[in-house]
Each structure stands twice: as C-alpha cells, then as structure tokens.
Structure 1
Amino acid sequence: MARTRTLRGYRVPAQRSELRVGPAVAPYRAAVASRVSPASIWRAVIGPPLATERQQHERLNSAQALAILGSDALSSAAYGPEEVLRVLAPAGAAALALSPSIGVAIAVLVIIVATSYYQTIHAYPTGGGAYIVARENLGVSAGLAAAAALLVDYALTVAVSISAGVSNIASAFPQLHPWRMELATTLIVFITITNLRGVRESGRLFAVPTYSFVAALACTLVGGAVMAARGTLPHVATNPPAEMRALTAFLVLRGFASGTAALTGIEAVANGVKAFREPEVRNASRVLLIMAAILATFVIGVLLLAHQMGVLPSDQETVVSQVARGVFGNSPFYYWVQISTLTILVMAANTAFADFPRLAAILARDEYMPHQFANLGDRLVYANGIAVLGLIAMALVVVFGATVHHLIPLYTVGVFVAFTLSQFGMVRHWARVRGNWWRTKLGINAVGGAITGIVGLEVGLVKFADGAWVALLVMVIVMAGMRYVRGHYELVRRLLAVDRARPVRRITRHRVIIPIGDVHRGVIEAVRYAQAISDDVTAVYVAVDPEASDDICARWERNVPGVPLVILPSPYRSVVRPILDYLDRLQAESEPEALITVVLPEFVTRRWWDGFLHNQTALMLRLALLYSRRRGRRRRVVADVPYYLAR
C-alpha cells in the first residue's frame, strides 16, 4: 500500500492515481455546492462536463443527422414557395400560373447543388465544406470569401427560420401576432441553451419534430393531390394585393431569386461530415441525397397545390397554413401541420448552430478567427461559437422585427457565393488530382458552378436594392476582420520569437509600489507580500479628499510602521492618472535595468454579486497598467494580492 501523509484533513498518497479525499473535505464540498454562483447556475442549465473520450459517442447517426443538419434545408419548404408567390402575386393570375414552373426550376437547382456537394463529401471527408475547398484550390482570398458568406448565411438562417416559425404559429393563433419578436428571441435563447448542452442531446430532442414536419407536409401534399384528382380541392378565398404590377421577365426572375431561399442549408451536410458516426462519408452522402429529394418534392408540391387552390401570400397567414387549412379544414390535422412547421423552423436554426461553431473553429485553427472559437467546451461542443451565433441572431430578430420578407433579401446572396466558390474549387481539384472518372466529376462540378454562379449573380442584381447590398457589405467587413486577426497572430508570433529576444541581463534594482485607498487587513496582506519580494517598498495614496489624508497617514504609521507612504495630490479627483504619472517619474529616475512591481491589494466578497457594491478601482488601475503603451512603461510587473472576506 502506498505511503501517505495527512495535511489538514487531506489524505495525500504517494501516487497521484490513488488520490482520495478525506472526510474533512466533505463539509467543504457540501458548502461549495450549496452556494449560488454563476458557475453553479451555468452547470445546472447545461449539465455536467463530459470527458474527452466520450467525443466519439457524441457523434450523430444518420437519423439524428438528418434532423440536425437537414432541418435547415427541409424547413425552407415552409417559406421558399411563399416568397415566390409574394413576388408574383401583384402581377395577377398570369404570373401565378408560372409558379409551378419556377418550383420545378428550383427543384432542378436543388438536385444539381446536392450532386455537386455529394462529390465534395467524398473528396474532402474531413469536412469544412466551401471554405476548405476554395482555400486549397482557389487561394486564401476565395476561401475567406466562402467562409464569410457561410458565417453570414448561418446567422441569417437562425433569424429567418425562427421568424418564419413564429409567423406560422401566429397564423394558427392570431392573438400571438403582436408578440412575434418576443417569441422569436425566447426561442433563440432556448435553442442556444439546448445546443450548449451537447450535439447528441440536441439530436435526440430535435429528431421527433423534424420527422413530424416531414410526415405532416407529406400528408398535406398527398391529401391535396387526392382531392385534386377527385375534383374536391377547395378554392381558398383571399384578398388580392393592393398594388398591381405588370408581368415582366424581371418580375419572373425576381420570383425565382426569392424562391432560391429554399436552397439554404444544403451545404450543411458537407460542412459537418466529422459530426457523423463512422463510416462518415457514406452516412453523410446518404443523408444529403435523402434531404435533397424531400426538399425538391416539397417545393414543387407546395407551389402546385397553392396554385390549384388560388392561395395568395398574406401577412396574417402563411401559404403553408392556407394550404393545410384548405386540405384539412380546422381539424386537428391542420394544427398538427402548423405546430410541426413551427418546430421544424426552430430546428432549422439548429443546423446553423451545428455548422457555424464548427466552421468558426476551423477558421480559428487557421488563425483567421480568435482562438477562443477553437476551444472545445466541457460539453464537447464549441460553446463560444454557439453563444456568439445566438447573440447575433437575436440582434437580427430585434432589428428586423421578426419579419421574414424583410430578412430574405439579405439571405440568399451568401449561399450562392459559397456554392459557386465551392463548385469551381472542386473543378480545380479534379483537374489537379484526376483519378477515376475525373472528367465526369469535373463536368458535374463545372455545370453546378456555372449554374449557381449565374443564379447568384441574378439574385444579387435583382435583390441588390432590396437589401442584398447589406449582406455583401457585411461579408467584406467579415473578410477584412479575418485578415486583421491573422495579421495580429502573425505579429504576436514574430514579437514573441526567442531569436528576437535581447540577452538576459540581471535586474539591478527592484522597487515595489502599493497603491492604497484605505488601511485595512487586505492592505496589510499586500504589504507582507511586497516585503517578501523586495526590501524597497513604498505605498502611495491618491488624495481625492484632502481632509482624509491626515487620517490615512495616522492610521498607516500606527499599523504599518517602517513602510513609507507617499501622498499624491489629485485636484481633478482622478485616481488612476496620478498613480501612472508617479510611476513614470520613478521609471525616468531609475537605471535602465531597474524593475518596478505594482502590488494591488484587493478584497474579494463572499458572494460574487456583492462585488458590484464596491468601487472597481483595482480593476481600472490594472487595465491602465497593462495597456499603457508609452515608452518606459513596459518594464513593470502587476501583481494582485486578494484578501478573501469571511465571517
């Protein structure tokens, strides 16, 4: 048995693997557990930490992956067809008669893009999608453009999906219509917390709503087709648009451009290959093809039924709601469709929560985003990326009032930028690596790239004045920000390189300065620490209130004899500036190799929220000392000496 020694109730074994905690620790642990702190609240919300070896078990099977990574694409059947009708309706019946044909064109585009991404999955099984493909084959600028487009698209995906879901439920319950923004922000908070709890847990939670929507909409389309075959399909009574327009080719193109919002989310599977269980490539490919087939069927079916029933878009009731009401009436099946639509649109946001953090982590590892995004959280998810995405999405919902057709013009531009760069990147990939059937594969990606490029250009031109320019501007800003981050990390690496360091020289003098605001036990502890590291210790007090200086001096001489106290006048009542000026004077009078250590006494309250009741002078002084860049201020050390308050 290993030898042990006892230290204040702890049993410390000779081997670390045999570490045990003695009974004296139990009361302490119970006391800590009973305290309410931000950490304890956080742990109660997101659950206990998961060990790293469980990461493989947190991956998704095909059924869960279709629910998480496919929900964005599938849910677009709930609002993509409506955007087509919203554009065509002012031109009358002749324009609306073209909506099924536009639906077929969108479905063909879905199949082309899905086929192209099928090849991307097999060529790049590690994931990363458009960013990795474009960076490796077209260069860094193309890769950053694809990454910026995807990041913007993911943020808009959350805002659009949640807003569309709230609109659908408000169609069934009109009394909720004035509360759309509040409902949307609440749902974003809920889905953010759910994703912070872990991938597998969100997969289990979201699988049922996704498949419920697929079943509900499929029943609606089948029921509508049967009624149409029997001649019993009702005609929905709707009010015509207040403003009528002429039917032009530009209007048709604009309707098609609005409908291409249905393509958002197709790239999610290719971006998240590493989220699948093994065999990853086979599972990801299968999910992609199933998702594309369902989406294409739904887009055509909804537009065809809406045309047959004479459905027109309305701010009070969605197209899917009108179609379902016409097929099922006000029966429970109608409410099943509406509730399922709401849930799938909420789940669609989950696709972005799965892919945005993963792409941000890849960019962070390449040093184009802050390193914090690459940190895997204690629930084996990229928690920083999830939290940031939630905050951005809530801001979008608030700014645009949770209104879908205000967000849609910003939405699809980024999708086609990523699509096009990815496809042309694959063309370059096949031309470079070749292999079996490389000409056929190159041709598929070339056709896909050409079509998505043309459609993307058309979408950008048609929707530019409606708000697409905002999305393009944000992408440019994000790209500039990523280049700035990379430049910063390269500069830091160069400045920290050992070969640039000066020869080590001995410190000739070590002076310790202790700023104080009062004389208390926390200051006494700081003085003890200062005297342990240097014999040259000086305290400084900023006389904001001159009348209090005499009292401070008297108490200092009585409690801390032998340590000089310097009184700094402050006619403008500043605390930080006089201390910085005093340190500058000391530095100027000292020899080059002298060192000044600033010891900051700071008491810590028993409860974290009690800290807000006290001035944060030590914090402000610490920040000022750390980030002062004036020449001569860099040879300083800042040390905190906390004193923990206890009864």
Structure 2
Amino acid sequence: MELKLRVLKLGKLLFGKSLKTEDLKNEKFNIFWGLPILSSDAISSVAYAGEEILWVLVPILGLMSYKYMFYAAICIVFLMFLLFFSYRQTIDSYPNGGGSYIVAKDNLGVIPGLTAGAALSIDYILTVAVSTSAGTAAITSAVPSLLKYKVLITASLIILMTLGNLRGIRESSRIFGIPTYLFIISVGIMIVTGIVKIYVLGYNPHPIYKIPEATGDIGIFLFLKAFASGCTALTGIEAVSNGIPNFREPSQKNAKIVLGLLATVVLLIFGGLSYVSTLYHAVPNSSETVISQIASQIFGQNIMYFIIQITTAIILIMAANTAFAGYPLLLALISKDGFAPRQFTKRGKRLGFSNGILLLSAAACLLVLIFKSETHLLLPLYAVGVFISFTLSQCGMFIKWIREKGPSWKRKAFINGLGAIVTIITVIIIGATKFFHGAWIVGIIIPSLVIIMLRIKKHYISVATQLKLKINIKPKEIDFANQKRYAIVPIDTLNKSFLKALNYARTISDNIIVFHVSVDDEATEKLLKKWNAYNVGIPIVIKKSPYRNLVGPLVSFIKSEEYAADHKDIVTVVIPQFVVEKWWCNILHNHTALFVKGMLLKERNIAIVTIPYIIEEE
C-alpha cells in the first residue's frame, strides 16, 4: 500500500493532477504560445537547412557554392510563401484541423487521404528524431567530449519531451515556448551583428575550415539536388493547419495569425542565415555545425557564442514539440474515422492524447537507435514524406475550388493549383536526388501504413456489422425458467481460493462440475486424496494432458457428449484467481488463471467469471 502511494505521488509530480473534461477549453493555445509550440519545427529547420545545401555544393563548387546557395535559398523562400497562402485557405475551409489528411480524404478519396496521413505520420516521427539529433549535434559541437554519448543524449531528450507533453497542452507550452523566442532573438542579433561587422566595421572574415577546391561546375541536377536538400526548411509549416483545434476561439483567426508570423520569422531567419553564410564562408563538416562556425567568427568564443549554441540546441530539441502537438491530434482524427486503433481517440488524465504521445516517442527513439542519431542520415527520409503531404493537400484544395465554384474560386484555385504543380515537381526532385540515400524506404513504409490502416478499418466494419441490432427485428424469446444452467470450476489445488470460487458457483447453478487437468500424476494423486478427505460432495472430472495443454481438455470436455450441457447452452466457467498486493510479488507467480481466461474468451458458448482471492502481505 505504501509503495502504491509513492507511485501515485511520483505520477502526480511528473504528470500533474488529473483534469476534468470541462477544463479542456483552458488547455488551448493563444497566439503568443501557439507560435513557438506549433511553429518550432519550421523555425528550427533553418538551423540545418542551409547547412544541407552546402553539404551538396561545397565538395564540387568550392568557393562558388555560397553564390548558388543563396539562389537555392531564394527558391525555397518562394515555395514557402506559396505554401503559406495555400494553408491559409486550408484553415478557412477545415476548422477542425487534420490538414493534408482531411483535405485529401474529402476531395481525392480514402486512399489519397490515408497516403497523406501516412506521409504526415512519417514526417512527425522524423521531426522528433531529426530535431533531437540536431540538438545533440549542437551540444556536441560546443562540448566535443560528449560525442560518444550522442545516442544516449538524444534518447534522453525525447523522453524528457514526452514527460513534458504528458503534463498537458498548457503546461507544455510554458515549458517549451520560451526557448523558441530566445532562439529567434539571439539568432536575429547574430545576423544583424554579422552584417554590420562586415559592411560597417570593415571586418574581413576568414573561414575556420579550409574551403575545398572546385572539382566541377554548377549544373541543373546539382542545383536541384541542393534545392531538395534545403527544402527541409519547410518541414513543419503544415502543423498550424493540422492543429487548429488546439487554439483558443476564434481558433481559425488565431491559426492564420500564427501562420503569418511563422512565414515572417522563417523568411528573416532562414534568409538571414543563408546570406550570412555567403559572407563568412562556413564549411559543413561532421564535427562543427555551420551556425557554430558563423557564431564563432562573429562573436569569438565569448558568452554570445555559447548563448547561440545553447539556444540553437534548445530550439532544435523544442522543434520536436511541434510533432508532439500535431501528431496525436492527427492520429485521433484517423482513429475517429476507423483507420487506427480507437485508443488513440481517448484523452489522458491531462486531457492530451496520451497514447499518441507515447507511440510518437517510442517510434522516434527506435529511429535514433537505428540511425545512431546522425541527422545527415535521417534527413533524406524526412523531406519526401513532407512534400507528398504538401502535394496531396494542394491537389485536394484545387479540386475543392473547381467542384464548389464559390466566391473568388478562380483565385483560390490558381494558388492551390500552382502550389500543386510546384510541390509535385519538388517531390520528383527530392525523390530522384535522395532515392539512394534512403528516400526509397519511405516508398515502402507509406504503402505499408496505408494497407495496415485499411485492414484496421475492415476489422472495425466487420465488428460493427456483427454487433448491430436491427430495430425491426426483435430478439428471440428465451424461456429462462426452463433453461438449464451449468457451471464448471477448474481446480489445480484444493485451497481457500478454490473454495471461494466453488461457493460462488453454487449461487448460480445446481449443475456444478469440478474439472482438473492432470499434467503430473503425483500432484493429481495428492489432490484426489485431499478432495476425498474434505468430502466436498461435488463430482470431480480428471482429464490427462500429455502435452500439458490446460485449456484444450476443458473445451473438448464441454463440447463432448460426456458432458450434459447442449451445444446451445451457456456454460459458466468460474475461475479462482488469487491477487497479491505488492506489484513485485506478481513476478513470483505464473498467472495461470489469466492465461486460461484469455484462451476461453475465444469460445462462443462459454461465459467466464473470475473470483479474486486477495493475499495480504505481512
């Protein structure tokens, strides 16, 4: 009992006290907290998006890389604003959230909708894995001695994020919101200082690492590959439209304001960092991030450098919170439609979708272990799923405007149509350039998830069909007065637990049989000797089981002609089960009663009653 109280106190400390359902309206975001929580993924992506472009260009173009990096960044910013206007229209049309999944399902059909849902699921899981891995990379850049512990550090960060989100929406916004603003302010200061230092103070920067000699020229394929790598800057931009129900009323208006603020921040931070990279010629490498190099050149190894590194690490970690805010809600919508287990629609003690949070955490930890917390290895899987969901959303909205022809439909259709064309091209580019780097895996996972979701829906339809009551058909009348009632009480050892079950069986039936499965002749002989000594007065049936199967002989006996019950009768099996008070004591017992109960549940004409007998600890 004392241990149980301690566990309850620990749970309350970690997750907070339980909330009432009516408290849900107070657990939603306002604009100030909604921006960092639902936008941290998109904002943080700028910390490594420019670096990914340089990874492609620098080994081939050398010093010329920085010129074409900026061109690629301009193309990405254009695509971002196109998506911004498109998702504003999605927010207006779908106030209940769901983003690409709902849009595609409503306008393109079930399969495209599930494809978008599967793509978003991969996106959210990779958001957690990539963001925390990138955060770990920022930490190890500042403290290289921690490099050998990066997998452990990343997994620990995911667990901390999970605990924070299990505490509820409002509390997680307070915990994870402030670091996002600190990152925006500190990086903004760095960008302005870096530009002023060169153009006002006349500083002549020198790269920390040697820039490789050029080995080739710029070509369309190389530029497209760099563009595809930088498109990771756009991940998370759909999270605001997915999470509209998480905003306070008026939720649509607040979501659109947050989306506009997000686009502005990404423009300033991503554009600014890309431009500063061209001035300070940061060289991507596995030991120090590009932001770390730029900060070191601008500030030196002073307090501002460490502030930049700390806030960068924190925002990269906090970016995972976008997934923790969006994915459980998406999963709840998919589950509500019957394409995922119903458990994901249930809110936990703190009114969050706890099961979705736990699934996201477990999947992300698994990816971190498989890819050893290497951001560079995880990113090729990342952008493909994101842009598949973008494409399906744009196509769905385009079809919606063409079909409905409402006010200003031509302008709206043009925006989404252009968005669809650009995102389709981007998907092809990313798929082609990243295919052999791991993007092919997404091509297997998405169809697999769609098939699984369809099978789940098929199961739910089958269950509903078999359970459905038709109003015009009344249930058959049953003569309960003349119906015989049978009871069987399994026995392994004659003890108080068995006698309690037997006494209960006597209250529901006069046709009682005690049934014993013999797997040990010596133990059976001891049981019979004790049974005869007690003279219970109820017949005992013994069946041998040479293969030690406990359930098979019982079911065979019930169905055999030897037993008096007809195959249409219901036979109640009364199972004795002793219960121990302390959790660790459960390890010491084999729980045969639970196993027998689980197997008997599959039999149609058998009812099961479990009679507990509590064992008190001294």
| TM-score category of the 2 structures, normalised to the smaller one | over 0.9
Alignment of 1:119-134 (within 5 A): 119-134=89-104
Which residue, 401, 417, 420 being the options, matches 1:449?
Answer: 420
Matched, 1:503 2:473: no
| DSSP 3-state at the match of 1:639 | strand
Which residue, 599, 602, 608 being the options, matches 1:624?
Answer: 599
Alignment of 1:209-248 (within 5 A): 209-229=179-199, 230-240=201-211, 247-248=218-219
Q: Are the aligned partners of 2:127 and 2:319 in contact in 1 as well (CA < 8 Å)?
A: yes
Distance in 2 separating the partners of 1:346 and 1:592: 61
Which residue, 586, 593, 596 being the options, matches 2:568?
Answer: 593
Deviations 1:48-105 (A, max 9, x none): 1101111111111111001100101000011111111111121022334311111111
Distance in 1 separating the partners of 2:90 and 2:248: 18
**Aligned CA distance change for structure 1 residues 489 and 243 (closer, same or farther; 3 Å):** farther
Q: Which residue of 1 aligns with 2:80?
A: 110
Matched, 1:78 2:47: yes
Matched, 1:168 2:138: yes
| 40-49 or 176-185, larger mean C-alpha shift | 40-49
Q: Are the aligned partners of 2:186 and 2:307 in contact in 1 as well (CA < 8 Å)?
A: yes
TM-score calculated relative to the size of structure 2: 0.95
| DSSP 3-state at the match of 1:537 | strand
Q: Which residue of 2 aligns with 1:610?
A: 585
| 306-315 or 207-216, larger mean C-alpha shift | 306-315
Q: CA deviation at 1:473?
A: 1.3
Alignment of 1:223-302 (within 5 A): 223-229=193-199, 230-240=201-211, 247-302=218-273
Q: Which residue of 2 aligns with 1:462?
A: 433
Deviations 1:228-254 (A, max 9, x none): 213315222214569966643222211
* One-letter code aligned to 2:268: T
Q: CA deviation at 1:277?
A: 1.1
Alignment of 1:543-622 (within 5 A): 543-559=518-534, 561-585=536-560, 590-622=565-597
| DSSP 3-state at the match of 2:560 | helix
Q: CA deviation at 1:305?
A: 1.6
Q: Are the aligned partners of 2:63 and 2:214 in contact in 1 as well (CA < 8 Å)?
A: no
Which residue, 167, 175, 184 being the options, matches 1:205?
Answer: 175
Distance in 1 separating the partners of 2:556 and 2:570: 16
Q: CA deviation at 1:308?
A: 1.8
| DSSP 3-state at the match of 2:570 | strand
Distance in 2 separating the partners of 1:587 and 1:33: 51
Distance in 1 separating the partners of 2:6 and 2:400: 52
Q: Are the aligned partners of 2:558 and 2:565 in contact in 1 as well (CA < 8 Å)?
A: no
* One-letter code aligned to 1:199: I
| 221-230 or 349-358, larger mean C-alpha shift | 221-230
Alignment of 1:417-432 (within 5 A): 417-432=388-403
Alignment of 1:176-191 (within 5 A): 176-191=146-161
Q: Are the aligned partners of 1:224 and 1:233 in contact in 2 as well (CA < 8 Å)?
A: no
Distance in 1 separating the partners of 2:12 and 2:544: 47
TM-score calculated relative to the size of structure 1: 0.91
Q: CA deviation at 1:510?
A: 2.4
| DSSP 3-state at the match of 2:19 | coil
| DSSP 3-state at the match of 2:338 | coil
Deviations 1:603-632 (A, max 9, x none): 0001122111101211111111123xxxxx
Q: Are the aligned partners of 2:567 and 2:605 in contact in 1 as well (CA < 8 Å)?
A: no
Distance in 2 separating the partners of 1:233 and 1:602: 80
Q: Are the aligned partners of 2:516 and 2:542 in contact in 1 as well (CA < 8 Å)?
A: yes
* One-letter code aligned to 2:45: S
Q: Are the aligned partners of 1:506 and 1:593 in contact in 2 as well (CA < 8 Å)?
A: no
| DSSP 3-state at the match of 2:490 | strand
Q: Which residue of 2 aligns with 1:11?
A: none
Distance in 2 separating the partners of 1:66 and 1:139: 32
Q: Are the aligned partners of 1:107 and 1:297 in contact in 2 as well (CA < 8 Å)?
A: no
Deviations 1:395-428 (A, max 9, x none): 0111110000100010011111111111121112
* One-letter code aligned to 1:484: R
Matched, 1:515 2:485: no
Q: Which residue of 2 aligns with 1:642?
A: 612
* One-letter code aligned to 1:469: W
Distance in 2 separating the partners of 1:196 and 1:526: 41
Distance in 2 separating the partners of 1:296 and 1:498: 57
**Aligned CA distance change for structure 1 residues 381 and 515 (closer, same or farther; 3 Å):** same
Matched, 1:363 2:334: yes
Distance in 1 separating the partners of 2:474 and 2:330: 36
Q: Which residue of 2 aligns with 1:150?
A: 120
**Aligned CA distance change for structure 1 residues 361 and 501 (closer, same or farther; 3 Å):** farther
**Aligned CA distance change for structure 1 residues 376 and 260 (closer, same or farther; 3 Å):** same
How many aligned residue pairs are there?
611
| DSSP 3-state at the match of 1:452 | helix
Distance in 2 separating the partners of 1:502 and 1:106: 65
**Aligned CA distance change for structure 1 residues 588 and 99 (closer, same or farther; 3 Å):** farther
**Aligned CA distance change for structure 1 residues 559 and 390 (closer, same or farther; 3 Å):** farther
Q: CA deviation at 1:587?
A: 8.5
Q: CA deviation at 1:461?
A: 1.6
Q: Are the aligned partners of 1:233 and 1:327 in contact in 2 as well (CA < 8 Å)?
A: no
* One-letter code aligned to 2:239: A
| DSSP 3-state at the match of 2:339 | coil
| 228-237 or 416-425, larger mean C-alpha shift | 228-237
Q: Are the aligned partners of 2:574 and 2:611 in contact in 1 as well (CA < 8 Å)?
A: yes
Q: Are the aligned partners of 2:486 and 2:565 in contact in 1 as well (CA < 8 Å)?
A: no
| Consecutive unaligned residues in structure 2, runs of 5 or more | none
| DSSP 3-state at the match of 1:320 | helix
Q: CA deviation at 1:304?
A: 2.0
Matched, 1:486 2:453: no
Q: Are the aligned partners of 1:235 and 1:308 in contact in 2 as well (CA < 8 Å)?
A: no
Q: Which residue of 2 aligns with 1:59?
A: 28
* One-letter code aligned to 1:405: H
| DSSP 3-state at the match of 1:573 | coil
**Aligned CA distance change for structure 1 residues 562 and 501 (closer, same or farther; 3 Å):** farther
Q: Which residue of 2 aligns with 1:23?
A: none
Distance in 1 separating the partners of 2:8 and 2:281: 56
| DSSP 3-state at the match of 2:441 | helix
Deviations 1:247-288 (A, max 9, x none): 432222111101101100000001111111122122111111
**Aligned CA distance change for structure 1 residues 556 and 233 (closer, same or farther; 3 Å):** farther
Quote the RMSD (CA, aligned, Å): 2.0
**Aligned CA distance change for structure 1 residues 501 and 253 (closer, same or farther; 3 Å):** farther
Distance in 1 separating the partners of 2:19 and 2:215: 59
Q: CA deviation at 1:503?
A: 2.8
* One-letter code aligned to 2:24: Q
* One-letter code aligned to 1:87: V
Distance in 2 separating the partners of 1:560 and 1:177: 73
Q: CA deviation at 1:36?
A: 4.3
Deviations 1:80-138 (A, max 9, x none): 11111111121022334311111111111111111110111112222111111111111
Q: Are the aligned partners of 1:117 and 1:267 in contact in 2 as well (CA < 8 Å)?
A: yes
| Consecutive unaligned residues in structure 1, runs of 5 or more | 1-31, 628-632
Q: Which residue of 2 aligns with 1:25?
A: none
Distance in 2 separating the partners of 1:460 and 1:338: 32
Which residue, 1, 12, 18 being the options, matches 1:49?
Answer: 18
Q: Are the aligned partners of 1:306 and 1:323 in contact in 2 as well (CA < 8 Å)?
A: yes
Which residue, 407, 416, 423 being the options, matches 1:436?
Answer: 407
Q: Are the aligned partners of 1:85 and 1:312 in contact in 2 as well (CA < 8 Å)?
A: yes
Q: Are the aligned partners of 1:524 and 1:560 in contact in 2 as well (CA < 8 Å)?
A: no
Q: Are the aligned partners of 1:595 and 1:635 in contact in 2 as well (CA < 8 Å)?
A: yes
